Structure 1
Amino acid sequence: MFKQLQKSFVKSAMLSFTAVLLVVLVAVNVVNYRQTVNQVDRLVTMLVNNDGTFPDAPEGGMAPKEHPEHGMPKGMEFRKDDQMATRYAVVRVANNAVQSVDQSHLVSLDETALKELGLRVAQGTASQGWEGSLRYQVAKTDAGTMVVLVDANKETQQISRLMMVTGAVFILCLAVVYVLVRLASNRAIRPFVENVERQQQFIANASHEIKTPLAVLSANTDLLAMMGTEAKFVDSNKRQIKRLNSLVEQMLILSRYDEGEAAATKEEVDLVAVTKAIVEEILPVLNEKELQVEFTGEAQTIITTNKSAMTELIRILLDNAMKYTVGEPVITVEAKRNQLAIENETEPMTKEQVSQIFDRFYRVDSSRNRTTGGSGLGLSIAQKIAETNDVQLTAELTSETQIRFVIEGEKNG
């Protein structure tokens, strides 16, 4: 149980940290990308507004932030170095033909490639976008169409580098936090584990202590019977002693499964074969109660699990069905490839009652359970068996008076 709690603690902490860190790193990269693209777009817009040329800047100085006469966007400023470092080209298109290409500031592409690229962009529907690492913008002029292309290779490389750095930071942080969480998890869950262990030890000790007086009461009841005590009182005592013994055994079983340790041996188990074997064992009880078990569906339901655990689980479900079947005296067992369903007619129930049916000591009808001798622990034990053996156990209403328990395991083959 300690290992399971530790795994759950580490998993929850890591998922929370991963989600927060991922959001932060994605936000950083998105903001950086948008700022970089906006910066390039301002430069492209400035070139478009200045008819495809770079406005002169003061030598070694800073151009004013607004140059209406140069068509510069508001807030745009540049140095002489920026003018010389910017790699751009201008392609002018008219009547679906390239009229001119200015590539004096972009010599990495030949003129033919620029013509093809400029013509394709001019004939497209987008006013701006990307062509590889080139950021372009299309503008209509009196003479036709002007396509301005700015080489943003340096900016895209910076974006890629930041993504790689943040990715490395993400992995490193996850590794460091995982180690720290693993170390901290022992101390964090220890008080809870100790509390649960004390409760389990108390149940075990109390159960063993109760067994002794029950044995004495059973012996005294037998003695009273031999002394001629009225049969109805003797029978009542025996029923209550039997009920208490059953309750003690169930509490011990539940305490064992609370430890969360699944059975070590796992194999391919045919749930249909297991169910038929149990039905053969309980046939005298079924005949006494005038009940029938009908098998429908496939001939086999094979899952990988522990056979003895599944035998105990199915026995509990059949016992529950025998106790609480009303109306039509039939218990239906339906088999599918990886499912086994046990269904019977019962007294009217609500979905809320079914949702609580696996709770400990829960009774849909306490008076009815007194009659049948139910303790309210059987289905809780069944659920624990399923949980500790990687099997799903669910309950559902197929109608107001028809309840269905489904055992589902992983598919084989």
Structure 2
Amino acid sequence: MIKKLQKKFILITVGVLAFVFFAVVLVMNTVNHASMVNSLSHKIDMVLEDNGRPQNHGEAPFSARYFKVIVDGDNISVDLNRVATVDEEEALTAYRVSKHNSGFYENFYYKRIADNNKIVYVFMDASMERQSFNNFMIISIAVSLGGLILISSLVIIFSKIVTKPILESYQARKEFVTNINHEIKTPIAIIKATNEVIELEQGPSEWTQMIDKETIRMDELLKKIMFISKLDEDSFKLQKQLVCFSDIVAEISDSFKLLAVSNGKTIETSIEDGINLYGETTMLGELISTLLDNAIKYAKDKTINLNLFKQGRLIYLDVSNDVDRIEVGEHNYLFERYYRKEELSSHQHGYGLGLSIAKTITTLHGGKIKAISENNHSIKFEVIFEDKKK
């Protein structure tokens, strides 16, 4: 869990930094490109003054290599006096492909200028400017990548410092859970054994039955706490394989039918055959058991409905039952650890661990779980898995 938290912190931070660096590089190069275009456009304006002989504007002299294509009605002429590497055919080709008022053609920047009844296309050599722009772009990207790598390294180091108190707290909690399991298991076993001796000597009574019931509840609580602790460990890995989910659901639901009857309730099932799923049989069985156990505890009326079916790539498992009263909508807060919603039932005991376990198991299998109430007197727990085979 701590490693997942650390990875999430690193990914989010590095992702934000990468976006910032990308935005900065993009803005810098966009501004640089606009500056290059403005400079080339200004050069063209200057060489056109006084019929191609630039006037003295107080600027440093420059060597401008350019050629012109003059369109006068149907007549097209070419001026190659200021360029030696372009012949007339190449100049006409450049003119034909230059459809906009300005832009780039190979290493030339061109500009379309209306002069009385003529249209003049000036193609200014931009090889030096483009080389300078490309160098700037490469350097800016390299510097940004270097900065991102450096800062990412610092983020990784910083993440260890940030998560250290959480790790220490997690280790302390883990040790506490282990210790409390050992410390409480023995007294529970002694109480249970003593209660059995009293029942053998004096016979069962209301008090001994209550003691037996509470020791069973405490034992179940310890098992759930240890199970959650196991799921939270970073080293925990599911042993997934292709299993018949339909068979698992049918087997677990059949085993709960007797328990439901003993509580004055029935489980009605609709299970589609042949639904396979990559997962761990034990964990999937625990998921179904948790949902059915929760339904038996909190169902107001006698009937509990369990459905398993497949639509396209998605596998749906839902367990629904009636309750005293509940608000319409989603109730995903029920999956929060140690949360107990009194509106489900005012007379049932619980510790708010079961549904949290169900959510963890579902997540480990790449699925989603939600609690939905379509009216004020029923609730449905819906689990959705994706068929990874297709």
TM above 0.5: yes
Q: Tell me the residue number matched to 2:356.
A: 380
Aligned to 2:45: 45
What displacement does 1:354 show?
0.9
1:129, 1:137 within 8 Å by CA — same for their partners in 2? yes
1:302-353 deviation line (CA, Å, top 9, x unaligned): 3333232222222212222333334471423232244232231332433677
Task: Check the 8 A contact 2:329/2:372 in 1, yes or no.
Answer: no
Give me the identity figure in percent.
23
Correspondent of 1:87 among 53, 61, 65: 65
Cα distance in structure 2, aligned partners of 1:186 and 1:390: 28
Say yes or no: does 1:343 pair with 2:319: yes
Report the more deviating stretch, 7-16 or 25-34.
7-16
Q: What displacement does 1:175 show?
A: 3.7
Instruction: Indicate conservation of the 8 Å contact 2:66/2:122, yes or no.
Output: yes
Cα 1:27–1:90 shift into 2, 3 Å: same
Residues 61-93 of structure 1 show CA distances to partners (whole Å, capped at 9, x for unaligned) of xx33xxxxxxxxxxxxx322x1xx211122211
Distance 1:135 1:52 in 2: 19
Paired residues of 2:314 and 2:385 also in contact (CA < 8 A) = yes
Match of 1:392 in 2: 367
CA 1:252–1:164: 2 relative to 1, 3 Å:
same
Higher mean C-alpha deviation, range 129-138 or range 249-258: 129-138
**Structure 1 partner of 2:101:** 127
Quick one: structure 1 residues 369 and 224, their matched pair in 2 at CA, closer, same or farther if it must change by over 3 Å?
A: farther
SS at match of 1:294: strand
Distance 1:342 1:205, change over 3 A: same
Counterpart of 2:334 in 1: which secondary structure?
coil
In 2, the alpha carbon distance for the partners of 1:300 and 1:311 equals: 17
Partner of 1:239: 213
Letter in 1 for 2:255: E
Q: Partners in 1 of 2:302 and 2:185 — Cα distance?
A: 39
Contact 1:96 1:119 (8 Å CA) reproduced: no
Gaps of 5+ in 1: 58-62, 65-77
**Does 1:5 pair with 2:5?**
yes
3-state secondary structure, aligned to 1:357:
helix
Letter of the 1:379 counterpart: L
Alignment partner of 2:52: what SS? coil
Question: Does residue 150 of structure 2 align to residue 151 of structure 1?
Answer: no
Distance 1:3 1:367, change over 3 A: closer
Moved more, 214-223 or 194-203: 214-223
Deviation per CA, 1:220-248, whole angstroms, max 9, x where unpaired? 43344445478333322222222222112
2:231 aligned residue (257, 264, 267): 257
In 1, Cα distance between the equivalents of 2:38 and 2:328? Answer: 57
Q: Which one-letter code corresponds to 1:310 in the other structure? A: L
- CA deviation digits over 1:146-194, x for unaligned, max 9? 2222121221222222222233334333444444444444344222201
Distance 1:205 1:26, change over 3 A: same
2:80 matches 1:103? yes
Would you say the 8 A contact 2:326–2:373 is kept in 1? no
State how far apart, in whole Å, the 2-side matches of 1:119 and 1:409 are.
56
Relative to structure 1, the CA distance from residue 8 to residue 41 in structure 2 (aligned partners, 3 Å threshold; closer, same or farther) is: same
Equivalent residues in 2 for 1:193-342 (5 A)? 193-226=167-200, 228=202, 231-288=205-262, 289-296=264-271, 299-327=273-301, 329-336=303-310, 337-342=313-318
Q: CA deviation at 1:2?
A: 4.3
Write the distance in 2 (CA, Å) between the matches of 1:220 and 1:327. 37
Structure 2: give runs of 5+ residues left out of the alignment.
none
SS in 2 for 1:341: strand
In the alignment, residue 75 of structure 2 is paired with which amino acid? A
Answer yes or no: is the 8 Å Cα contact 1:218–1:238 preserved in 2. yes
Please report the TM-score for the alignment, with normalisation by the length of structure 2: 0.87
Note the C-alpha offset of 1:357.
Answer: 0.9
Say if 2:244 and 2:276, in contact at 8 Å, map to a contact too. Answer: yes
Q: 1:409: Cα distance to partner?
A: 4.4
Point out the more displaced range, 345-354 or 145-154.
345-354
Residues in 1 aligned to 2:280 and 2:308: alpha-carbon distance in whole angstroms: 21
Deviations 1:87-115 (A, max 9, x none): 112221122431x2212112322112323
AA in 1 matched with 2:137: M
Instruction: Check whether the contact 2:334–2:371 (CA below 8 A) recurs between aligned residues.
Output: no
Q: List per-residue Cα deviations over 1:36-68 (Å, max 9, x = no partner).
A: 1221122223345x26514144xxxxx33xxxx
1:395-410 matches, within 5 Å, as 395-397=370-372, 399-400=374-375, 401-409=378-386
Cα RMSD of the aligned pairs, angstroms, is 2.8
1:204-226: CA deviation from partner (whole Å, max 9, x where unpaired): 21232222222233234334444
Q: What amino acid sits opposite 1:23 in the alignment?
A: A
CA distance in 2, matches of 1:202, 1:133: 72
DSSP 3-state at the match of 2:243: strand
Aligned to 2:165: 191
Q: How far has the Cα of 1:23 moved from its partner?
A: 2.1
Give the aligned partner of residue 30 of structure 2: 30
Q: What is the one-letter code of the residue matched to 2:73? A: N
